[in-house]
Amino acid sequence: MAIKAPRVNRRIRIPQVRVITEDGTQVGIMQTSEALKMAEEQGLDLVEVSPKARPPVCKVMDYGKYMYQMRKRAKEAKKHQHVTVVKEIKMRPKIEPHDYNFKKRHAEEFLAGGDKVKCTVIFRGRELAHKELGRKVMERLIEDLSDAANVEVPIRSEGRTMMMVLAPKPASKKKDKNRGDDAEDKDSQGSGEEVQAHGKG
């Protein structure tokens, strides 16, 4: 992520600026030349932190340390960003069970990573006369991935191919569902214990 460097010291050419000291004290509006002199006397820099203000706001600080902190924050922010990518899996209308499971696992991995999945069925020769087979493969995949994905682009034909796009479900919904499943498991275990207790009675 590129950081736009602010204007500093002699690069600040506007005649007046609003000045803030290093500890955050508001000094007020000063002549830029006086503000520069004040910063130099403290062995610090005059950094323009709000160029669109009228007059611009400048802070007396260590410019090198300021830029280091800015880059560090930008790096942290980038870590938490996920760029959604559309991954593609290709299948045949008469796909073998082993191949289907292999493709499904790939789709699950892509969805778990927060990416969308474009599913494409490719028809060759006489297979075009049996497009319903391709649709069945797609519908089966939708069903098998229903816990992890929503259909973003419904099944549609495009020449010799049939395609759809699946998008990952929001994490909160999956967590809620998992909590519900856990609760059901506990209930069923509890019911089993009750039955055993009654049996002993």
Domains detected in the chain: 9-79 (3.10.20.80), 86-170 (3.30.110.10)
1, 7, 64, 66, 130 from 70: Cα distances, Å = 11, 14, 10, 6, 59
Entry pTM: 0.48
User: Could you report the per-residue pLDDT of 148-181, keeping only the tens digit for each?
Assistant: 999 999 999 988 999 999 999 886 444 444 545 5
Strand residues in the chain grouped as ranges (E)? 16-20, 26-31, 45-50, 57-61, 86-91, 116-122, 149-158, 161-168
Task: Give the pLDDT of residue 78.
Answer: 78
Task: Give the pLDDT of residue 146.
Answer: 92
Task: Give the pLDDT of residue 101.
Answer: 94
At 24, which amino acid appears?
A: G
Task: Give the pLDDT of residue 102.
Answer: 94
At 31, which amino acid appears?
A: Q
Q: What span, in angstroms and rounded, lies between the C-alpha atoms of 150 and 142?
A: 8
Give the burial class of 138: count Cβ atoms within 10 A of its Cβ; 0-12 exposed, 13-18 middle, 19 or more buried. Answer: buried
Task: Give the pLDDT of residue 196.
Answer: 43
Low-confidence ranges of the chain (pLDDT < 70): 1-3, 82, 171-201
For residue 156, the cross-strand partners are 163
Task: Give the pLDDT of residue 2.
Answer: 60
Task: Give the pLDDT of residue 190.
Answer: 47
